[in-house]
Structure 1
Amino acid sequence: MQEYKEGSKKIEINIRISEFEVPPIQDVLVVGKKAPIGPEAARRMVDVLSPDQYDILKIEHPFIEAVIIRKALCRIISPEKIIKIIIEESEKIMDEDMLIKMQLDISLQISKVIDL
C-alpha cells in the first residue's frame, strides 16, 4: 500500500488592469467612491449581461467604494485574500472618480510526495 504525504500548494495570480469599458464583463470591477456609476448600477449592468455571476463587496477604503467580483473566483481563493490583492494594486493607479476592470488569471499548482 502506498502512503501519500502532503506536499505544498501554491497559487499564482496574474492581474491585468485597464480602464472601464462597456460591456464591463471581466473578472473584477473596482468602483471609486465618486465614480460615474455606483456599485448598484454597475451590478445591474453586469446582471443584465451575466445574471447571478457577480458579487458586490463593499470596501472600507478612502477612495474605493466597492469591488464587483466574479463569484467563481471566490470559490478558488477566499474573498478576503483576493480582495486584499485587488485593493493593493488598485490604489496604486486609481482615484475616487474611476472605475477599473481587472482580468485575473489564476493557476493552481499542487505538489505531493508519495512513497514507492
Structure 2
Amino acid sequence: MCLGKKGGPLFMAQETSSSREPLRKADVNIKLSEFEIPPMQDILFVGKKAPIGPEAVRRMVDAVSPEQYEIVRLNHETFEAVVVKKSLLRLLPKEKLLPVVIEESNRIADDKMVLKAQINITIQVSRTVDL
C-alpha cells in the first residue's frame, strides 16, 4: 500500500513485464458527519449502544431503498454493524473498503452514535501497449 498525494491510502498494483497487468489505483475520500434525516448516505455506522440497532436500520433501508444496501455485522469495540451502498462494493471490495472507513470512523465516533459517511472512490487505470 502506498500513500496518496494528501497522505491517504492509495491501493496500487504495479504492472510487471511478465504479467502485462494494467496499473490500478484507488483513491478513497471519506466525509463523516452526525446522523440526520434523511438518514442514508453511502455508509452508515451503527454503534453498539446506539438508539437504533442493525435490525431497525435494515427495515428502514429496505423501506427507503430496497436492494441498494448491504448490512455487514461487525465484531468491533465501537460499531455493531455497518450499512454499505452496494454500488460502492462494485467499485472496491468490502475487504479493501471497510478497514479504511472503520479505522477513520472509529477515531471520531463512540459506541452510542449512528454515523453516516459519504464516500468518493476514484478508480485510476494506466496501461502500456506495445507499438
Structure 1 stretches of 4+ with a deviation exceeding 6 A read: none
| One-letter amino acid of the structure 1 residue matched with residue 82 of structure 2 | V
**Structure 1 residue corresponding to 2:98, chosen from 75, 83, 104:** 83
The whole-number CA distance in structure 2 between the counterparts of 1:38 and 1:20 is 13
TM-score by length of 1: 0.92
Gapped regions of structure 1 (runs ≥ 5): none
Seq. identity, %:
51
Q: State the Cα RMSD in Å.
A: 1.0
Per the TM alignment, residue 6 of structure 1 is displaced from its structure 2 partner at its CA by: 3.1
Q: Secondary structure at the match of 2:127?
A: strand
TM-score by length of 2: 0.82
Gapped regions of structure 2 (runs ≥ 5): 1-19
Paired position in structure 1 for 2:38: 23
Paired position in structure 2 for 1:44: 59
Per the TM alignment, residue 115 of structure 1 is displaced from its structure 2 partner at its CA by: 1.5
The reply on whether 1:7 has 2:5 as its aligned counterpart is no
Bigger helix share: 1
Q: Say which structure, 1 or 2, has more relative contact order (CA 8 Å, 6+ apart).
A: 1
* Number of aligned residues: 112
